[in-house]
Every structure is written in structure tokens, then in C-alpha cells.
Amino acid sequence: MSPGGKSEEKTSPEARSVRKTLNARRKHSVVLHIQSFEHDSLRLEFVGRGKEMKREEGERHILSILVENQPGVLSRVAGLFSGRGFNIESLCVAETMDPHVSRITLVTNGNLGVVEQVKKQLNKLVDVLKVVDFTGRNSVEREMALIKVHAIPENRAEILRMADIFRCRIIDVGAEYYTIELTGDEGKMRAFLNLLKPMGIKEIARTGALALAREKK
């Protein structure tokens, strides 16, 4: 024992070095714990804000865009949406009565203010002639779907009955499947598909929404 009551081993340079290393590790562990806590807090705050943004950006918009029928126009229009993080839910393009002009009907979800900014950017494109947002406007919306549903003998009568109620057409009949043509708005599509799901939908192809403004009466 030393005069101070401590062993030589504890006061040796090696012991002091070990003690210093242990203290440094304890401090580092505390710092890591604090950093981890701050990271989790920031992550939770970010997730919370993300949920708020989703609530704000949940409005559905149907845009009708008249453009010049030129190569590359569609990619420039779609690029404005993807560049701002908007997902295009459906996209339909076809010529109008003028073969030099095409109509793009596009469905997306987003905050009204941001969609307004996108519309302004679209109007700045040279090939874009007119942009109309049918959200909140008096308009007609339709979509067509081809649905191939599993038709076992026990379900065939029920499928035909539902097709008649929803004013669908059976356009192809196979040994195990019926192919149904359905036309309607988003609500009608969703209701009919929910009824067919228990029977087994093999394939589906949808055109995406089309819309035109209603004329004043």
C-alpha cells in the first residue's frame, strides 16, 4: 500500500491509461445515447410532419391539357410532376378533332397551392395551349376497364347479374374466365371491383379517367 492508501497498481501509468480510456468510452456512450435520442425525436417529428403533409396533399385533381401534337411534349409535361414529387395516377393521351392538337387527361393527388404552381409552369411550356383543372367544377368523368374474372360454374349467374346491374358487357367468354367491359366514374369502378374480388380477378386494364366540362343549361 502507498502512503496515501492506494495500491501501486492503481496509480501506475498503465492503470491511469486504462481508467482514462474507460472514462472516455463512458462519455462517448452518453454522447451516442443523446445523439440516438435526438435522431429518434427528429425522425418522429419528420414522420408526424409527413402525415400532416399527406393529409394536406390528399386532394384529387383531374387536369385536361391541350398540347401541340409533337414528339417529346408528353415527357416534358410528366417531368414537371415527377420533379415536384407528384405521382401521376392515370394518364390518357389522344388526338382531338384537330390532328395537330392532342388532349392529355391526367389524374394526380396534391395540395391545391402546389398544383396551381404546376399549372403555371405548364402554361409556360411552348407546346402547351391550355390547362384546365376540373376539381370542384361541373364536369363529366368516365373511365373504361377490361376485367378478366374467374368464372366457375357456381359463380357465372352471379357475375352476369352484377354485370347487368352495373350495365357492363361480357365481351369474351372462356372455359374458366369472363372478360367484362365496364364504363363509369371512379366510384362505380371501385364498387364493381370490390364485388368481383371475392370471385377472383385475374387481370385488369384501365384507360384512366377522361373528363370534359358540362355545358350550361
Domain coordinates of the chain in residue numbers?
9-45, 60-133, 140-213
Q: CB-based burial of residue 196 (10 Å sphere; 0-12 exposed, 13-18 middle, 19+ buried)?
A: buried
Which residue in the block uniquely carries the three cell numbers 374467374?
150
Cα–Cα distance between 180 and 149 in angstroms, integer?
8
**pTM to 2 decimal places:** 0.65
Instruction: Report which of 209, 65, 70, 212 is spatially closest to residue 144, judged by C-alpha positions.
Output: 209
Tens of pLDDT along 73-125? 988 888 888 877 778 889 999 999 999 999 999 998 877 787 888 888 888 88
Provide the CATH number for the domain formed by 60-133 in this structure: 3.30.70.260
Collapsing DSSP to helix, strand or coil, 217 comes out as: coil
* Helical H segments across 1-147, by residue range: 8-11, 13-56, 73-82, 112-124
CB count within 10 Å of CB 163 equals: 20
Tens of pLDDT along 180-192? 999 999 899 999 9
Q: Do domains 60-133 and 140-213 have the same CATH topology?
A: yes
Q: Right CATH number for 140-213 from 3.30.70.890, 3.30.70.1150, 3.40.640.10, 3.30.2420.10?
A: 3.30.70.1150
CA-based torsion, 55, 194, 145, 169: positive or negative? negative
